[in-house]
């Protein structure tokens, strides 16, 4: 099919789906035929394919039409193999290799959440289907993690000499690993989503999902270790082909996924944001779930590559504020502080970043600076920290503006204000500048 024929076909399909979405009367027999066609014929035509803008719009319409039919007639989901085929079809849109447009993957996740929620509490039969969907996703997740962890074991015994490394094989292996990692991240996003009505079971039995998340995080980190981020950022010269071929790092960075660095940033961001939301919305206040977020914060605050991923920094900044707020409400700030490591080393790390040419997101500066002041508020003056800072002007010129500056991110600014209200025991949100400056002066940080 040539380009024009493909465009015509896509346009015709769009018209048919629009008519389906506009239909008002339920016909269970016809709706079942339509649903089977969408799941088993129409959607698979877009599998393993990098979609253009028109195809993306149509794919999203197909997602909507599937939800529309099941919402109109929930009995359809009870038909043999409908739910199984639905998962096997939608899960393929979690794959970063083909669907770099995050809207496709996130929409596929959202459709599965909504369908699962439609089934919860309707009857035993519906609940069984809902649990079957979640169990099926869990099986996919476990299979992916088993493959990824086994691949780490087998690759560790491979020779590091470039003479024995085939670039095409490396590309295929990297693509497969990233496909499984990206699919797994979207599954985790779904399983621990606060939107999912049946995730109460996961909250009550958190050990398994926490273990899976830790393994997934480990596998993603391992991929990053082998990548040359300068190559991914296209900073190396095009003419230096000889040195490239001899570079092990370059060979290990092979992938067919476009804008890979940007998409790695996306993967980290989706996974971290899912963990933060899982923690923040956990009504049981499970300490293991809180520690899951805190362990990731500690890793990222000490990670030398954090400056390479801007979206991740934004998610981390908001997460620090939100989970700190949760811990304060639980009278558990010292646990928060200890687990993420608000310490002299971290303080110097942030200050060194402030003075360096390496740019960190301003919200991350603001969040960490605020945590330092909250620590002062609750734990008092620390002479060791003060004496260790060679240039006290740095604090007045950098630390205070970091806290007092207004972020363009409204959500970050909202939660920062909530945190300040909580810390200073005020009942309304207002300008906290004087409170912070007073605290600053009380702890002898101001320069004379």
**Which residue, 236, 267, 284, sits at the end of a domain?**
284
* Residue 299 sits in the same domain as residue 416: yes
Predicted local confidence at residue 80, as pLDDT: 78
Q: Is the distance from CB of 49 to CB of 98 less than 8 angstroms?
A: yes
**Which residue, 267, 284, 301, sits at the end of a domain?**
284
Whether residue 43 lies inside any domain: the answer is no
The closest of 284, 276, 381 to 325, measured between CA atoms, is 276
166: its two tokens = 């085939």
Q: Is the distance from CB of 360 to CB of 427 less than 8 angstroms?
A: no
Whether residue 44 lies inside any domain: the answer is no
The closest of 223, 336, 326 to 280, measured between CA atoms, is 326
| Structural domain harbouring 293 | 287-448
C-alpha 351 chain-centroid distance: 27
* Residue 267 sits in the same domain as residue 347: no
* Residue 306 sits in the same domain as residue 275: no
Q: Tens-of-pLDDT digits for all 448 residues of the chain?
A: 667 778 888 999 999 999 999 998 889 999 999 999 999 999 999 999 999 999 999 999 999 999 999 999 999 998 878 999 999 999 999 999 999 878 999 999 999 999 988 887 667 777 788 888 888 999 999 999 999 999 988 765 554 444 456 778 889 999 999 999 999 999 999 999 999 876 666 766 789 999 999 999 999 999 888 787 766 655 444 445 545 544 666 777 788 888 889 999 999 999 999 999 999 999 999 999 999 999 999 999 889 899 899 999 999 999 999 999 999 999 999 999 999 987 655 555 555 655 555 678 889 988 988 888 788 777 765 555 555 444 444 455 566 677 777 888 999 999 998 898 888 765 443 445 556 556 545 544 443 3
The closest of 45, 35, 106 to 65, measured between CA atoms, is 35
Domain count, the chain: 2
Spatial CB neighbours of 251, under 8 Å, sequence gap ≥ 6: 162, 165, 167, 170, 245
**Which residue, 249, 284, 319, sits at the end of a domain?**
284
* Residue 251 sits in the same domain as residue 299: no
* Residue 240 sits in the same domain as residue 299: no
| Secondary structure class of 372 (helix, strand, coil) | helix
* Residue 376 sits in the same domain as residue 304: yes
Spatial CB neighbours of 138, under 8 Å, sequence gap ≥ 6: 187, 191
* Residue 162 sits in the same domain as residue 250: yes
* Residue 189 sits in the same domain as residue 271: yes
| Secondary structure class of 301 (helix, strand, coil) | helix
Helix (H) / strand (E) element for 414: namely helix 410-423
Predicted local confidence at residue 431, as pLDDT: 47
Residue 415 CB-density burial (10 A; 0-12 exposed, 13-18 middle, 19+ buried): buried
DSSP state of 198: G
The rounded distance, in Å, linking the Cα atoms of 234 and 237 is 8
Q: At 101, phi and psi to the nearest 5?
A: -70, 105
* Residue 294 sits in the same domain as residue 185: no
* Residue 230 sits in the same domain as residue 377: no
* Residue 216 sits in the same domain as residue 193: yes
Whether residue 149 lies inside any domain: the answer is yes
């Amino acid at each position: 099919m040539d380009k024009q024929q493909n465009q015509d076909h896509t346009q015709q399909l769009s018209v048919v789906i629009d008519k389906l979405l506009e239909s008002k009367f339920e016909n269970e027999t016809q709706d079942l035929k339509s649903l089977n066609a969408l799941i088993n014929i129409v959607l698979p035509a877009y599998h393993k394919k990098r979609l253009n803008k028109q195809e993306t719009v149509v794919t999203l319409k197909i997602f909507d039409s599937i939800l529309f039919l099941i919402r109109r007639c929930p009995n359809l989901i009870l038909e043999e193999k409908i739910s199984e085929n639905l998962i096997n079809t939608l899960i393929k849109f979690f794959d970063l290799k083909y669907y770099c447009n995050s809207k496709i993957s996130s929409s596929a996740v959202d459709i599965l959440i909504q369908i699962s929620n439609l089934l919860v509490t309707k009857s035993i039969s519906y609940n069984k289907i809902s649990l079957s969907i979640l169990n099926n996703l869990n099986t996919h997740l476990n299979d992916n993690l088993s493959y990824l962890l086994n691949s780490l074991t087998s690759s560790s015994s491979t020779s590091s000499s470039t003479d024995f490394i085939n670039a095409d094989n490396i590309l295929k292996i990297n693509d497969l690993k990233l496909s499984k990692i990206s699919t797994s991240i979207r599954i985790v996003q779904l399983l621990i989503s606060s939107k999912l009505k049946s995730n109460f079971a996961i909250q009550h039995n958190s050990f398994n999902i926490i273990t899976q998340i830790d393994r997934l995080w480990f596998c993603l980190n391992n991929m990053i270790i082998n990548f040359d981020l300068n190559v991914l950022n296209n900073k190396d010269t095009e003419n230096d082909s000889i040195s490239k071929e001899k570079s092990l790092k370059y060979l290990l960075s092979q992938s067919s996924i476009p804008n890979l660095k940007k998409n790695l940033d996306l993967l980290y961001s989706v996974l971290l944001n899912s963990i933060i939301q899982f923690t923040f919305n956990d009504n049981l206040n499970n300490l293991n779930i809180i520690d899951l977020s805190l362990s990731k914060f500690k890793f990222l605050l000490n990670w030398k590559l954090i400056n390479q991923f801007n979206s991740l920094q934004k998610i981390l900044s908001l997460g620090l504020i939100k989970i700190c707020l949760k811990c304060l409400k639980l009278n558990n700030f010292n646990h928060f502080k200890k687990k993420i490591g608000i310490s002299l080393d971290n303080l110097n790390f942030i200050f060194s970043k402030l003075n360096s040419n390496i740019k960190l997101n301003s919200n991350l500066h603001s969040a960490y600076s605020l945590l330092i002041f909250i620590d002062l508020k609750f734990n008092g003056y620390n002479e060791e920290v003060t004496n260790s800072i060679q240039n006290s002007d740095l604090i007045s010129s950098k630390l205070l503006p970091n806290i007092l500056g207004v972020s363009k991110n409204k959500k970050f600014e909202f939660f920062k204000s909530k945190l300040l209200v909580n810390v200073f025991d005020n009942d309304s949100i207002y300008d906290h500048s004087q409170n912070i400056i007073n605290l600053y002066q009380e702890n002898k940080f101001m320069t004379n």
